[in-house]
């Protein structure tokens, strides 16, 4: 610890407008976990987290699913504007296990335009998975450009930039224990 003046709080930063408390998120995840456990009771699903944003959601969600499950991660690059319009996304870290015949549950932090997920879900289906479903914590539905079916959804949110609980702005705020609207990205 530095001996200089106390640092300003990151969690109660005035540039953040709280949207969902940690308690609200946990309560919703408990419901999602029970529903997932019920739906997959005959199966041994593979939860596939999309890095980095989904790491906190996935870690809470797996603990709410009382079943035998596997956990894997993929990382996808965020391209600039020109790539986004083409819908192309690049897989930066791929799976290192075969998914043929497996029931895959993709776990994502937020669905915004839907470009990332529509690409990823199609890619996974082409690898011979038995089923591919999606659990997303947040749905910024007003901005959708590609249709994406969300099988298990935490919350619908308005068109605003949100951070916390894994979601970042320029790698900041992933550690907030709640979800907030970032009022001024330049502040
Ligand atoms: P999409 O391809 O437009 O659906 O966007 C997917 C990715 O953009 C998400 O997985 C997030 O990483 C990022 N993203 C979209 N909206 C937000 C936001 O409000 N806050 C933080 N990240 C976001
Ligand atoms: Mg993401």
**Domains and their CATH numbers in the chain:** 3-40+64-182 (3.40.50.2020)
Rounded to the nearest angstrom, the distance between the alpha carbon of 65 and the centre of ligand 1 is: 25
Rounded to the nearest angstrom, the distance between the alpha carbon of 2 and the centre of ligand 2 is: 34
CA distances 64 to 29, 111, 158, 161, Å, are 7, 21, 26, 27
Reduce the DSSP state of residue 74 to 3 states and report it: strand
Residues 175-187 have a mean pLDDT of: 94
Confidence of residue 135 (pLDDT cuts 50, 70, 90): very high
Would the CB of 124 count as within 6 Å of ligand 1? no
What percentage of the chain exceeds 90 in pLDDT?
A: 86
Predicted confidence (pLDDT) at residue 112 exceeds the cutoff of 80 = yes
Alpha carbon distance 151, 136 (integer Å): 8
Structure confidence by residue, pLDDT tens digits, 75-98: 998 665 554 556 678 899 999 899
Owner of token pair 């082409």: 126
Alpha carbon distance 105, 141 (integer Å): 20
Would the CB of 111 count as within 6 Å of ligand 1? yes
pTM over 0.75: yes
Residues 102-112 have a mean pLDDT of: 97
Could you tell me how many residues make up the chain? 187
Q: Whose CA is nearest to atom 20 of ligand 1?
A: 162
């Amino acid at each position: 610890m530095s001996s200089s003046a106390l640092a300003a709080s990151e969690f109660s930063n005035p540039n953040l407008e709280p949207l969902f408390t940690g308690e609200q998120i946990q309560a919703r995840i408990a419901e999602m976990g029970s529903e997932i456990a019920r739906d997959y009771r005959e199966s041994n699903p593979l939860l596939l987290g999309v890095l980095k944003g989904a790491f906190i959601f996935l870690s809470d969600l797996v603990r709410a699913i009382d079943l035998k499950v596997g956990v894997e991660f993929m990382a996808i690059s965020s391209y600039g504007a020109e790539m986004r319009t083409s819908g192309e996304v690049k897989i930066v870290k791929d799976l290192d296990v075969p998914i043929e015949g497996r029931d895959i549950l993709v776990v994502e932090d937020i669905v915004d335009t839907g470009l990332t997920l529509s690409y990823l879900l199609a890619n996974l289906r082409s690898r011979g998975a038995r089923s591919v479903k999606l659990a997303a914590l947040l749905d910024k539905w007003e901005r959708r450009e590609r249709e994406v079916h969300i099988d298990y959804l935490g919350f619908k949110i308005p068109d605003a930039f949100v951070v916390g609980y894994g979601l970042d702005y320029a790698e900041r705020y992933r550690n907030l224990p709640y979800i907030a609207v970032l009022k001024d990205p330049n502040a």
